[in-house]
Amino acid sequence: MEPDLTVLIPTFNEEENIRECLESVSWAPKIFIVDSFSTDRTLDIAGEFTDNIVRHEYVNSAAQKNWALDKIDTEWVLIVDSDERVTPGLREEILSTLASPRHDGYHIRRVNHFLGRRIRHCGWQRDRVLRLFRTSRGRYENKAVHAEVQLNGTAGRLKEPLIHYPYRTLSQSFEKMSRYTTWAAQDLAGAGVKPTRLKMLAKPAARFFRQYVLEGGYLDGVPGLILSTFSAVGVFAKYAKLWEQNGKSSETDNLKSAIRNQKSEIESGGAV
């Protein structure tokens, strides 16, 4: 029997990735594409694999996926990003697991690549994501970046991995970092975090030391050095953008306060 399963794939201008992604999940009974108004050939390619394609305005990854999850009517959902591939081994494990599931969701290990090289250290070796779960039991937390699935039930682990190609070039890496650090700064601001000079100095240095030294990034050669440095720069950029946001907010508050004071003085002078 086929599993009662939908594969959910969010897309935006993924013509370089989407075909291989869809080929890796072509065994699934249903494939659902939620697209953020791509301007390249993404939807043309996707149409070769499924007719179940919708467009929806993108706010952030979690909001986009939660919106799509509400449209899925199968018992189970597998979420796969366009830069990920389901291996044959993972396919077979998913099918056997859903034949007699013991949990409401399952974490899947990811094998990550950076600049064409598999990264075996830098902390990436422990990367697991909750991607297979009962549709009614899971939704992403309300965060702009790095949101996790909040599962109402028990979670198990699958052994076979997803293959992940998040950063193929340095240009792509910097582009993604710009977007993600902006969203991360917004999350910090919403949590009331203040961008002190100590945090801006210490946290990037701590990130580099942890990834490159403690988590063995040096064993990944030059890609490990670039990745660890890149991560540290991302942490600095996140707090720098938070500082920028706070500065703009302070300027706005000061301007509003000055206007109120001026208005009050005028009204007081008029009363005299």
Cα(262)–Cα(269) distance, integer angstroms: 11
Q: Three-state DSSP class for 142?
A: coil
Burial label, 242 (beta-carbon count in 10 A; 0-12, 13-18, 19+): buried
Q: Which residues pair with 31 in a beta bridge?
A: 7
Q: One digit per residue, pLDDT tens: the chain, 272 residues?
A: 789 999 999 999 999 999 999 999 999 999 999 999 999 999 999 999 999 999 999 999 999 999 999 999 999 999 999 999 999 999 999 999 999 999 999 999 999 999 999 999 999 999 999 999 999 999 999 888 889 999 999 999 999 999 999 988 999 889 889 988 998 999 999 999 999 999 999 999 999 999 999 999 999 999 999 999 999 999 999 999 999 988 765 444 444 454 555 555 545 554 33
pLDDT at 146: 86
Q: For residue 65, give Cα distances in angstroms to 2, 43, 124.
A: 24, 18, 23
Look at residues 53, 20, 50 and name the one whose alpha carbon lies nearest to residue 36: 53
Ordered by where they begin, the domains of the chain are: 5-167 (3.90.550.10), 170-265 (no CATH)
Q: Identity (one letter) of the amino acid at 117?
A: R
